[in-house]
Amino acid sequence: MIDIIFHDKTGVTPYNPGQTGGFENAAGSGEIHYYRLFDGVGIMLLRLEMETYTEIRTQIGMIEINFCINGRFETSFSMRDSVLLKPGDMAVSCYDGRHGTRSESRFPLGCYEGLCLEVDPAAAQNWLEKNAPGFSVDFAVLKQNLLGNRWFMFGTAGPRCEHVFRELYENAPYMDLRFLRLKVVELLMLLSRIPQEEGTDLYCSTEQTELAHHLRDHLLTNREGYVSLVQLAEEHGISVSHLQKMFKQVYGVPVYHYIKEYRLEQAAVELVRSAKPITQIAQNAGYDNASKFSEAFRKRYGTTPSQYRTHANGLAKRSREIRME
């Protein structure tokens, strides 16, 4: 069961957030904490343990910005349009009434932590002009900077925006309304002004996408032996170079880079959700010894596995204490 908990810091009954509707009948468990900060702007903290869910969008013109804290988030709007998020990535969409009405999402690691910022541009612009005239956010410029002529985009959030996303995620339950409003406005101003990288052509045929998924699943399930890309390419009648290019087109990174990152993310989940020894988690991630695993983990997360586990458990304990007060 997914619990949706409203924390209305404005003192006004919140409107129904656009993203929560898809979780009503989802199979899994977790919590969604919703904070309405001012007219037209709300944030959701998502902590989920589930495999899949379906979302139906109805609010035309709403800008939705998702940021991945932990886990992986994969969404398909159609055979052509898909989003693949890893920690540090964000996805931006603006429902236009045609594209992305229905999306099928899945969490390959079985869990997900993220933040979703929902913005009604007209209402937010009006509130800021009346209550915070010194902070200029032009939502037409923000939308153009993020999306251009597209209705969705995804990619790395960048260090400056990622810092603010993580501040919001960690501090929303504890900080007062003024702090959260300032951080959201800071984030909106950054997203309006930081140039976005030009994306590559992300189109892949259904056959290419299915082949990339097959290759990924094969590599992830074969932990014991070396998997030959030459053999896999021969099985599907394509060259190794074409296979590698197709995989990067679908997943955004080279084959073995994806596998290494994926297994480190699985390890991060195990560190938090289990009491397994770090040596065992290292072996599950494909490392011969804990020191090599610790070095790779520190490069990926900026902290050692033991420090990561201690910090995550501390946050979870603090969150439980806040809910009990």
Beta bridge partners of 71: 112
Residue 189 has pLDDT above 80, yes or no: yes
A 10 A CB-CB count for 18 gives: 20
Residues 216 and 189 grouped into a single domain: no
Residues 167 and 220 grouped into a single domain: no
Residue 200 is predicted with a pLDDT of 39
The mean pLDDT of 150-157, rounded to a whole number, is 87
Select the more confidently predicted residue: 157 or 19. 157
The mean pLDDT of 154-177, rounded to a whole number, is 89
Alpha helices (H) in 132-228, listed in sequence order:
139-147, 159-171, 177-193, 206-221
Contact 253, 155 (CB under 8 A): no
Give the model confidence (pLDDT) of 65-111 as tens digits. Answer: 999 998 888 887 765 667 778 888 999 999 888 887 888 888 877 88
Domain boundary among 193, 222, 257: 193
- Provide the number of structural domains found in the chain: 2
Give the model confidence (pLDDT) of 196-224 as tens digits. Answer: 654 434 445 566 667 777 777 777 776 55
Give the model confidence (pLDDT) of 19-32 as tens digits. Answer: 545 666 667 788 89
Alpha helices (H) in 10-97, listed in sequence order:
none
**CATH code at 186?**
2.60.120.810
Percent of the chain at pLDDT above 90?
28
Contact 70, 268 (CB under 8 A): yes
Residue 295 is predicted with a pLDDT of 93
Residues 274 and 160 grouped into a single domain: no
Residues 254 and 142 grouped into a single domain: no
Select the more confidently predicted residue: 205 or 266. 266
pLDDT category, 50, cuts 50, 70, 90? confident
Domain boundary among 193, 215, 232: 193
CB neighbour list of residue 49: distance below 8 Å, 6 or more residues apart:
28, 29, 30, 110, 111
Q: Look-up: residue for tokens 């410029």?
A: 141
Enclosing domain of residue 76: 2-193
Contact 48, 72 (CB under 8 A): no
Q: Look-up: residue for tokens 């998020």?
A: 85
Contact 221, 286 (CB under 8 A): no
Q: How far apart are the first and last CA of the chain?
A: 23
